[in-house]
């Protein structure tokens, strides 16, 4: 079973405390939303879970193995993948190469033929077959986000963290990303989805985590969390 344990994670940047003792567990293929006002620490938490940053203190375990000490590529190998708030599709590579290169780097012993076969499956899933030979830079912002999701699928992670997957995406592609999440979650992958799109996140997630000033102020059923006085207070003045 998927087991992710984030224990008392703190992160300081100089005098700024970006995370102040974040603790939560993921058990099995959960579908979790992570929300919080701008600057709450959502991206920092993601960067710690995937090894981009080291916590100032605290630990992260995946499947019982400590991962907060590992570099990102080893965290990916351990089974945790993420997308970036600003997409990082390789602009000078074709869509097919974008899928193959990270997968070959992560699984050097997998045969190229097998990876290519998998890449075509992923392209089919994204309905991107016709774009296979197009360059990353020729894709729209939303298509680049989908390509990043495709690259994640190539790596076959157990836990997938999506940082603002819906931001600036055309409604039609948004629907595709939504479908991607539902389908891949049903295949047994856990998701942590960061989003500002409240309607989407409340509909999609079965559990909601709320960060505010680096602290987890709520963790539970989205319907209950929504009315939690601490959460309401954190969001007062955000919308208007």
Ligand X SMILES: Nc1ncnc2c1ncn2[C@@H]1O[C@H](COP(=O)(O)OP(=O)(O)O)[C@@H](O)[C@H]1O
Contact 124, 176 (CB under 8 A): no
Sign of the Cα pseudo-torsion (97, 177, 22, 7, in order): negative
Measuring CA to CA, how many Å separate 86 from each of 61, 129, 162, 165, 177? 26, 24, 11, 9, 16
Task: Give whichever of 43 and 185 is closer to Mg ion, judged by the CB atom.
Answer: 43
Q: Can residue 44 be called a binding residue for Mg ion (CB under 5 A)?
A: no
End-to-end CA distance of the chain: 42
Q: Kindly give the pairing relationship between strand 80-82 and strand 159-163.
A: parallel
Closest approach, Cβ 64 to Mg ion, in A, equals 29
Closest approach, Cβ 120 to ligand X, in A, equals 35
Task: Give whichever of 42 and 151 is closer to Mg ion, judged by the CB atom.
Answer: 42
Residue 111: which residues within 8 A CB-CB, separation 6 or more? none
Q: Among 9, 33, 43, 155, which residue sits at the site for Mg ion (rule: CB under 5 A)?
A: 43
> Which range in 6-14, 40-48, 94-102, 197-205 contacts Mg ion by CB under 5 A?
40-48
Closest approach, Cβ 107 to Mg ion, in A, equals 29
Closest approach, Cβ 217 to ligand X, in A, equals 13
Q: Can residue 46 be called a binding residue for Mg ion (CB under 5 A)?
A: no
**What are the residues binding Mg ion (CB under 5 A)?**
42-43
């Amino acid at each position: 079973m998927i087991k992710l344990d984030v224990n008392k994670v703190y992160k300081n940047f100089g005098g700024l405390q970006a995370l102040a003792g974040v603790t939560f567990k993921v058990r099995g293929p959960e579908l979790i939303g992570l929300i919080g006002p701008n600057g709450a620490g959502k991206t920092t938490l993601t960067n710690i879970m995937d090894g981009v940053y080291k916590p100032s203190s605290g630990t992260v375990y995946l499947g019982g193995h400590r991962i907060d000490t590992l570099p990102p590529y080893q965290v990916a190998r351990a089974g945790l993948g993420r997308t970036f708030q600003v997409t990082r599709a390789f602009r000078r590579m074709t869509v097919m190469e974008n899928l193959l290169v990270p997968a070959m780097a992560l699984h050097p012993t997998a045969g190229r033929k097998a990876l290519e076969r998998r890449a075509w499956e992923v392209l089919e899933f994204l309905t991107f077959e016709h774009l296979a030979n197009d360059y990353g830079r020729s894709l729209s912002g939303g298509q680049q986000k989908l390509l990043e999701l495709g690259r994640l699928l190539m790596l076959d992670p157990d836990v997938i963290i999506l940082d603002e997957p819906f931001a600036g995406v055309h409604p039609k592609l948004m629907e595709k990303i939504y479908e991607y999440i539902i389908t891949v979650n049903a295949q047994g992958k856990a998701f942590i989805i960061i989003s500002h799109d409240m309607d989407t996140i409340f509909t999609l997630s079965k559990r909601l985590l709320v960060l505010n000033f680096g602290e987890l102020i709520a963790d539970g059923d989205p319907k209950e969390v929504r009315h939690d006085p601490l959460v309401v207070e954190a969001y007062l003045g955000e919308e208007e």
